[in-house]
Amino acid sequence: LNVCEIFREKCENVKHLKGA
């Protein structure tokens, strides 16, 4: 499961953390 799906609000943060 992608964290983005779980934390859609923090999706931007996750993208920066995972660099996706």
Residue 14: band (very low, low, confident or very high) from pLDDT cuts 50, 70, 90:
low
What pLDDT was estimated at residue 2?
75
Cα–Cα nearest to 15, from 7, 4, 6: 4
- The pTM is what? 0.14
Residue 20: the pLDDT is: 53
| Structure-token pair, residue 1 | 């499961």
Mean pLDDT, residues 2-18 taken together: 71
What's the pLDDT score for residue 18? Answer: 65
Which residue reads 């983005």 in tokens?
4
